[in-house]
């Protein structure tokens, strides 16, 4: 099965890459209900030398199974760096290992990454964005999409149209835009309007709208403002695991989205989802500790969204088993 190429007019819903969050087990759980068209891997940083195969295989175990999650959702591989040739060589290694699509990160705001010439730093240099995209595009087979993901700009949006035009000239297959500048971090407000403007200017190049879609109403507002066909969900998908299905239904991608009786997840639904997370980490060394840490991280995101009264208690518990027992006792 080929990777789903985005085309304008046919919607896609994409699970956002989130370093330290959307690793293989999380991608497996999130993709299980069939709402996502594909997932994007956490970024792999290309610095002094091209990445060796073992780095890809460690971070993206899906490469061993046609680069798909256990339920069959494709995974795109994201690379980050400032050196075109080394990124292109890394992309080729990924393709030889079975990657079916490459994404280039021009949005990461982390100071260490930016100091080392990666992520959002590139937003100051449209010409470099063009060269990186073009070099990777020319290196990998034409059947493999090469896309870009960026923010609105570094400290303002003055270079947005130049940056996105540069990516388009370099041959990007589509552009995902998180509606914030690098300096805005994750602070509100989100600014979806410029995403719509880019979409208009670069039409028919597919543009994926991203940022702060926490509810189905947020999604509808984002769609109205951007007129985008494609959307990427990150924190909202974790905070409210029902959201991807609801959005997929709106997009016509999941006709069978169930009717939910309550606006937010009930304790037993969290238990079911966490049980799936457990299944996908069964081979992990120190599985219980890993699951405890990641479950607390996950529920912390949900707590910000829906005020889980029980989170304060859960966050002090040391093991996954004790967390599960505590949630079970809520029922």
Catalytic residue IDs: 108
Q: Where in 21-80 is the site for ligand FMN (CB under 6 A)?
A: 21, 42-43, 78
Write the secondary structure of the chain as one string of H (helix), E (strand) and C (coil): CCCCCCECCECEEEECCCCCCCCHHHHHHHHCCCCCCEEECCCEECCCCCCCHHHHHHHCHHHHHCCECCCCCEEEEEEECCCHHHHHHHHHHHHHCCCCCEEEEECCCCHHHHHCCCHHHHHHCHHHHHHHHHHHHHHCCCCCCEEEEEEEECCCCCCHHHHHHHHHHHCCCCEEEEEEECCCCCCCCCCCHHHHHHHHHHCCCCEEEECCCCCHHHHHHHHHHHCCCEEEECHHHHHCCCHHHHHHHHCCCCCCCCCCCCCCCCHHHHHHHHHHHHHCCCCCCCHHHHHHHHHHHHHHHHHHHHCCCCHHHHCCCCCHHHHHHHHHCCC
Report the residue number, 126 or 234, with the smaller CB distance to ligand FMN: 234
Report the residue number, 108 or 140, with the smaller CB distance to ligand FMN: 108
Of 90-98, 211-219, 244-252, 305-313, which segment contacts ligand FMN by CB under 6 A? Answer: 211-219
Of 209-217, 240-248, 262-270, 280-288, which segment contacts ligand FMN by CB under 6 A? Answer: 209-217
Structure tokens belonging to residue 5:
């190429």
Question: In the bound complex, what is the minimum distance in angstroms from residue 91's beta carbon to ligand FMN?
Answer: 15
Angle at 241 between CA 24 and CA 301, to 5 degrees: 80
Q: Where in 75-104 is the site for ligand FMN (CB under 6 A)?
A: 78
Of 126-134, 205-213, 219-227, 304-312, which segment contacts ligand FMN by CB under 6 A? Answer: 205-213
Question: In the bound complex, what is the minimum distance in angstroms from residue 16's beta carbon to ligand FMN?
Answer: 3
Report the residue number, 108 or 292, with the smaller CB distance to ligand FMN: 108
Q: Where in 144-183 is the site for ligand FMN (CB under 6 A)?
A: 149, 178
265 near ligand FMN, judged by CB under 6 A: no
Report the residue number, 239 or 327, with the smaller CB distance to ligand FMN: 239
Question: In the bound complex, what is the minimum distance in angstroms from residue 110's beta carbon to ligand FMN?
Answer: 9
Of 55-63, 220-228, 233-241, 315-323, which segment contacts ligand FMN by CB under 6 A? Answer: 233-241
Residue 79 · residue 59 · CB < 8 Å: no
The residue sitting closest to ligand FMN, measured at its beta carbon, is 234
Question: In the bound complex, what is the minimum distance in angstroms from residue 76's beta carbon to ligand FMN?
Answer: 11
Near ligand FMN by CB under 6 A: residue from 83, 212, 229, 278: 212
Near ligand FMN by CB under 6 A: residue from 82, 84, 170, 234: 234
Separation CA 34–CA 69 (nearest Å): 11
Report the residue number, 135 or 210, with the smaller CB distance to ligand FMN: 210
Which residues here bind ligand FMN, judged by CB under 6 A?
Answer: 16-21, 42-43, 78, 105, 107-108, 149, 178, 210-213, 233-236
């Amino acid at each position: 099965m080929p990777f789903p190429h985005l085309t304008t007019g046919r919607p896609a819903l994409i699970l956002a890459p989130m370093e330290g969050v959307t690793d293989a087990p999380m991608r497996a759980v999130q993709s299980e209900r069939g709402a996502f068209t594909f997932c994007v891997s956490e970024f792999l940083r290309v610095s002094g030398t091209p990445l060796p195969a073992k780095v890809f295989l460690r971070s993206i175990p899906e490469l061993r199974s046609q680069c798909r999650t256990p339920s069959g959702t494709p995974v795109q591989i994201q690379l980050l760096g400032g050196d075109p040739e080394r990124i292109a060589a890394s992309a080729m290694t990924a393709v030889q290992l079975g990657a079916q699509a490459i994404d280039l990160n021009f949005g990461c705001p982390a100071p260490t990454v930016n100091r080392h010439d990666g992520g959002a730093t590139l937003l100051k240099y449209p010409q470099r964005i063009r060269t990186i995209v073009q070099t990777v595009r020319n290196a990998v087979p034409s059947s493999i999409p090469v896309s870009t993901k960026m923010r609105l700009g570094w400290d303002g949006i003055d270079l947005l149209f130049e940056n996105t035009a540069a990516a388009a000239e370099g041959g990007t297959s589509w552009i995902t835009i998180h509606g914030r500048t690098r300096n805005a971090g994750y602070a509100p407000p989100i600014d979806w309007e410029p995403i719509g403007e880019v979409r208009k200017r670069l039409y028919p190049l597919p543009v994926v709208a991203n940022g702060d879609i926490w509810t189905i109403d947020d999604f509808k507002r984002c769609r109205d403002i951007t007129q985008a066909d494609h959307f990427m969900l990150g924190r909202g998908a974790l905070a409210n695991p029902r959201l991807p299905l609801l959005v997929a239904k709106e997009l016509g991608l999941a006709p069978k989205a169930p009717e939910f009786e309550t606006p937010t997840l009930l304790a037993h639904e969290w238990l079911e989802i966490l049980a799936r997370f457990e299944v996908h980490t069964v081979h992990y060394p120190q599985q219980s500790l890993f699951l405890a840490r990641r479950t607390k991280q996950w529920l912390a995101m949900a707590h910000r969204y829906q005020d889980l009264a029980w989170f304060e208690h859960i966050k002090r518990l040391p093991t996954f088993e004790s967390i599960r027992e505590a949630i079970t006792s809520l029922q």
